Structure 1
């Protein structure tokens, strides 16, 4: 089983031909509401790929809470661990241009009241997977990592948005996932490092597996002295929001089923490409059959010496 300790947001999508420049006002006809939040997106992706998923997090006492919870339940996620707290549900304003590029602003809301104490012992059994991101309070994220490690759970951390977790907490993470900018921030490195070196650097910060997501070029994975790149699915993107989250969720689902790291990374990369062809980060059109079909179009893995 996969336990996601993470964020839930109401996403407000605004579509533009071109994203506004600094100081520029751009008009569009309307906006679309979609359920989101990095934790919720990852949980939905894992569940839609067939994993048993339980979610621990918080929503507020507002009208956005119900549709966010309903979307997770519809994806097959167990939402019994989600609590309602005073305040508003996390909210994100997302601007997307025709190319698929986006800008995102987030008000954390109820997510900042989520507590690691809600991760009861029955959720953190030996062999389970704890999947985390960086949209909850740092202290609670670190506490969740320590508790999961003490109970021999697999710990997967997507350090996004980039957060200053302690070195001690990072060393308890099994798989550390970040994009290029986040990886450079974690490593204290400037531009110019090869992605393979970034992945190896992430692997050195945790218990041995580092993954760098590189957008249209796919992902680079380093583990046990080996490094390989999984190219991205060749697609024409509609909306890139949620691509990284889908990768994380489906990676966790595949590993939970017993897949090896390379096969799990390929499946996750295929799913990440599929979600980019669909509107919204939790599209119900993402499913096991669609991911299976996309795998056939995924380019071959490239290994590094």
Structure 2
């Protein structure tokens, strides 16, 4: 089985539940606050681990009361945390508001995530990795360092540029798989994504810049995978009742990477990841909502 490294953010999510999002200037009553371990990097690491992957986390936590619960949440779900460093100050925080419709709004306070430097990334871990997963909740210089080192070590780079920011032209060829949602695809390509056809055009544009493959997630509509000159692979979503979409995208990415690391071909890995994401949105929380490999396989068996 391939070894997976996730270099990215580790956050404590402060989740406030409301009936509807407040209008600008409006004060409303919440329905309670939950403290839940999250962060795009940590979520993707947990998703890959629970889906059967051999996963190591590279990241940073602070010196506050959240650090130990964040590390415990990872290790309890099978993620190796020996390469997570401590930084002065607070851990990363995410202030999340979830509506009764299952939609969410998120404000990030980067804390220790913003202090993760290239020198904090162990060279041995990169040398031992087969797949390395990155996002945009740590400094770009650290992401770029990992991409460059991964290329020399011949590890596959999976990059989820969220929150979205422009990618330098010379970085695209360092990316084996670029995973973007509709908003990110539009922001990077300059092509508005409102349909499957739009997603294909945006994906082709990103491929033309040097990424080896592109995966555009389309929310409740499914996903579109593009590689080279081949036909796009569209994978429809499963119909479920959404309760909380907080970690849906992270679950999809982690499960897809884990499925590929375990030898599934691309169409099968996409369906596996789609099932994992479908299960996650029926549950509250970030890491707490992520399903195990057994749950995903049972779900797929029920779908026929």
Aligned partner of 1:255 in structure 2 is 260
Question: 1:234, 1:298 within 8 Å by CA — same for their partners in 2?
Answer: no
Cα distance, 1:264–1:206 mapped onto 2, change above 3 Å: farther
Once the two structures are superposed, the pairs formed by residues 272-287 of structure 1 within 5 Å of their partners are 272-283=277-288, 286-287=291-292
Consecutive unaligned residues in structure 1, runs of 5 or more: 300-305
Question: 2:85, 2:120 within 8 Å by CA — same for their partners in 1?
Answer: no
Q: Give SS of 1:94's match.
A: strand
Are residue 241 (structure 1) and residue 243 (structure 2) matched? no
Question: 1:59, 1:84 within 8 Å by CA — same for their partners in 2?
Answer: yes
Aligned partner of 1:167 in structure 2 is 169
Are residue 196 (structure 1) and residue 225 (structure 2) matched? no
Query: How far did 1:260 drift?
Result: 1.4
Aligned partner of 2:212 in structure 1 is 208
* Cα shift readout 1:129-149 (whole Å, capped 9, x = no counterpart): 000000000111111111101
Aligned partner of 1:45 in structure 2 is 47
* Cα shift readout 1:223-258 (whole Å, capped 9, x = no counterpart): 132202111121001100000000111111111112
- Structure 1 residues 184-193 or 149-158, which shifts more? 184-193
Question: 2:47, 2:290 within 8 Å by CA — same for their partners in 1?
Answer: no
Are residue 66 (structure 1) and residue 71 (structure 2) matched? no
Instruction: Pick the structure with more helix per residue.
Output: 2
**Distance of 2:121 and 2:261 partners within structure 1:** 19
Q: Give SS of 2:36's match.
A: strand
Aligned partner of 1:110 in structure 2 is 112
Cα distance, 1:114–1:282 mapped onto 2, change above 3 Å: same
**Distance of 1:8 and 1:22 partners within structure 2:** 29
- Structure 1 residues 120-129 or 250-259, which shifts more? 120-129
RMSD across aligned positions (CA): 1.6
Query: How far did 1:54 drift?
Result: 0.4
Query: How far did 1:205 drift?
Result: 3.0
Aligned residues: 299
Aligned partner of 2:300 in structure 1 is 295
Question: 2:281, 2:289 within 8 Å by CA — same for their partners in 1?
Answer: no
- Structure 1 residues 77-86 or 187-196, which shifts more? 187-196
TM-score w.r.t. structure 1 length? 0.94
- Structure 1 residues 182-191 or 167-176, which shifts more? 182-191
Query: How far did 1:117 drift?
Result: 2.3
**Distance of 2:154 and 2:239 partners within structure 1:** 38
